[in-house]
């Protein structure tokens, strides 16, 4: 959020899906050097991150940029509105390439090279730190009690990782919200340009992430565009349109009889970092049905998870059981499919609201309800079900996974043009 001296919002806040800063990022990488930027930030400079969006605003709307006093993350803005303090937690620093992710503070020299004035950057405070109390004005607007303690908060993926009970090195969360991906907890600095590295909300740890644009949002798109018939039958069947699509997909054999889907629905982040990447169905013929397309879409998302796991393991991370979160975890078929395609067992916590739960736990630690993160997780995180990977399906899925990987390589030049 771009704020002026009075704390008023100056412009709409761009989301991570916004990739319009491709040219700005290319120029900065060329001028400063990709390796130098990565040395500080631990992440490649890509248009999905905050840095490029700020520079885009500076170059395309200098009349707005000139009025900017502070730039806040979404949770930082909420904190400001609740208690009047302008701060940023370290887990949000991953999106800024003038943030030293190894040490956890601003690198103002790099900020100068990028063209981001240091005065625009808020103070950094621990995620679980109480930064203020709800003001009387905020209490009147929200219904919260004036004087209630406000904790800094954290990145959605980091809070979801906590909400899945992932607080020790080697534990891994599988994300099934709008976006997809994985978050591996590590206790030693380990950056790889193909992945996303952020500070965890748990002090002294990081999360190495695979973050994709195709997660639960793929099924939301499928339902919106192809499920008019299923929506019309919800009353008759007693099933939601998504549940009916799930049944259609269940009737198709693993591997979707050769139909493969690339889930690059808004470009792609890790591990290919290609803002020009596009979604693709490959292998359509007259024998294919809507059920094939639904299942192939689900499998494509799972292939993207396997791709990120492969890269994380190449980078030296050990990935064991995945702890599934998000609305996608409600689909037993999809969860089992992810286990079979990745070869990793999946544990599903009792709540699919891991991000909200993680935020509550973070706040609880901050205000002293829990002694520490160990106690918070131990008292709250319970397993609802467990999916074991079926090795008998590996070959069928592996054939399609190799096609999945080859398709992007074959089409990359066309997508770039």
Mean predicted confidence (pLDDT) in 136-152: 98
pLDDT of residue 178: 87
Mean predicted confidence (pLDDT) in 162-166: 96
* List of residues 6+ apart from 355 with CB closer than 8 A: 156, 159, 160, 163, 177, 325
Does the pLDDT value for residue 197 go beyond 80?
A: yes
User: Tell me: the pLDDT tens digits for 25-58?
Assistant: 999 999 999 999 999 999 999 999 999 999 999 9
pLDDT of residue 397: 98
pLDDT of residue 348: 95
pLDDT of residue 409: 97
pLDDT of residue 401: 98
Beta bridge partners of 349: 383
Mean predicted confidence (pLDDT) in 161-182: 94
Kindly provide the b/e burial profile for residues 133-172, where b requires at least 16 CB atoms within 10 angstroms of the residue's own CB.
bbbeebbeeeeeeeebebbbbbbbbbbbbbbbbbbeeebb
- Reference 361, options 162, 176, 221; nearest CA is 162
Does the pLDDT value for residue 225 go beyond 80?
A: yes
User: Tell me: the pLDDT tens digits for 105-139?
Assistant: 999 999 999 999 999 999 999 999 999 999 999 99
Mean predicted confidence (pLDDT) in 306-327: 94
Q: Structure tokens of 417?
A: 């043009």
Beta bridge partners of 9: 3
pLDDT of residue 329: 92
Query: What's the rounded Cα separation, in Å, for the pair 158 and 10?
Result: 28
Does the pLDDT value for residue 350 go beyond 80?
A: no
Predicted confidence band of residue 417 (pLDDT cuts 50, 70, 90): confident
Q: How many Å from the N-terminal Cα to the C-terminal Cα in the chain? A: 33
Beta bridge partners of 130: 151
pTM: 0.92
Does the pLDDT value for residue 15 go beyond 90?
A: no
Domains of the chain and CATH, by start: 2-151 (3.30.420.40), 164-355+372-417 (3.30.420.40)
pLDDT of residue 16: 81
Query: What's the rounded Cα separation, in Å, for the pair 98 and 367?
Result: 30
pLDDT of residue 353: 86
Does the pLDDT value for residue 352 go beyond 80?
A: no
Mean predicted confidence (pLDDT) in 260-264: 98
Percent of the chain scoring above 90 in pLDDT: 95
User: Tell me: the pLDDT tens digits for 402-412?
Assistant: 999 999 999 99
Query: What's the rounded Cα separation, in Å, for the pair 403 and 214?
Result: 18
Predicted confidence band of residue 330 (pLDDT cuts 50, 70, 90): very high
CA 385 to chain centre: 23
Query: What's the rounded Cα separation, in Å, for the pair 80 and 86?
Result: 5
Contact 236, 319 (CB under 8 A): no
SS3 string, the chain, reads: CEECCCCCECCCCCCCCCCCCHHHHHHHHHHHCHHHHHHHHCCCCCCCCHHHHHHHHHHHCHHHHCCCCEECCHHHHHHHHHHCCCEECHHHHHHCCCEECCCCEECHHHHHHHCCCHHHCCEECCCCCEEEECCHHHHHHHCCCCCCEEECCCCHHHHHHHHCCCCCCCCEEEEECCCEEEEEEECCCCCCCCCEEEECCCCCCEEEEEEECCCHHHHHHHHHHHCHHHHHCHHHHCCCHHHHHHHHHHCCCCCHHHCEEECCECEECCCCCECCCCCEEECCCCCCCHHHHHHHHHHHHHHHHHHHHHHHHHCCCCCCCEEEECHHHHCHHHHHHHHHHHCCCEEEECCCCHHHHHHHHHHHHHHCCCCCHHHHHHHHCCEEEEECCCHHHHHHHHHHHHHHHHHHHHHHHHHHC
pLDDT of residue 6: 97
């Amino acid at each position: 959020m771009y704020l002026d001296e009075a704390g008023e919002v100056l412009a709409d806040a761009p989301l991570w899906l916004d990739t319009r800063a491709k040219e700005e990022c290319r120029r900065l990488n060329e001028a400063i050097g990709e390796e130098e930027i990565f040395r500080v930030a631990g992440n490649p400079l890509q248009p999905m991150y905050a840095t490029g969006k700020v520079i885009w605003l500076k170059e395309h709307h200098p009349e707005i940029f000139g009025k900017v006093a502070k730039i806040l993350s979404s949770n930082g803005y909420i904190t400001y509105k609740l208690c009047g303090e302008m701060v940023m937690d370290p887990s949000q620093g991953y999106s800024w390439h003038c943030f030293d992710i190894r040490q956890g503070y601003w690198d103002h020299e790099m900020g100068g090279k990028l063209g981001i004035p240091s005065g625009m950057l808020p103070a950094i405070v621990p995620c679980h730190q109480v930064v203020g109390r709800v003001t009387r004005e905020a209490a009147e607007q929200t219904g919260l009690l004036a004087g209630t303690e406000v904790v800094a908060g954290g990145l959605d993926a980091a809070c979801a990782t906590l909400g899945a009970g992932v607080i020790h090195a080697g534990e891994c969360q599988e994300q099934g919200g709008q976006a997809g991906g994985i978050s591996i907890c590590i206790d030693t600095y380990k950056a790889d340009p193909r992945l996303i590295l952020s500070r965890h909300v748990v002090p002294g740890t990081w999360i190495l992430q695979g973050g994709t644009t195709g997660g639960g949002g793929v099924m939301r798109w499928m339902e919106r565009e192809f499920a008019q018939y299923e929506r019309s039958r919800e009353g008759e069947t007693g099933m939601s349109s998504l549940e009916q699509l799930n049944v259609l997909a269940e009737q198709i054999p693993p591997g979707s009889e050769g139909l493969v889907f690339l889930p690059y629905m808004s470009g792609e982040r890790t591990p290919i970092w290609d803002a020009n990447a596009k979604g693709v169905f490959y292998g359509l013929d007259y024998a294919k049905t809507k059920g094939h397309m639904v299942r192939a879409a689900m499998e494509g998302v799972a292939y993207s998870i396997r791709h990120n796991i492969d890269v994380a393991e190449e980078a030296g991370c050990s990935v064991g059981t995945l702890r599934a979160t998000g609305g996608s975890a409600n689909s037993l078929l999809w969860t089992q499919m992810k286990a079979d395609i990745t070869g990793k067992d999946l544990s599903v916590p009792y709540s699919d609201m891991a991000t909200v739960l993680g935020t509550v736990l973070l706040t609880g630690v901050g205000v002293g309800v829990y002694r520490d993160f160990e106690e918070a997780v131990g008292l709250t995180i319970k397993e609802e079900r467990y999916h074991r990977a079926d090795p008998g399906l590996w070959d069928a899925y592996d054939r399609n996974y190799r096609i999945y990987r080859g398709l992007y390589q074959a089409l990359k030049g066309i997508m770039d043009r």
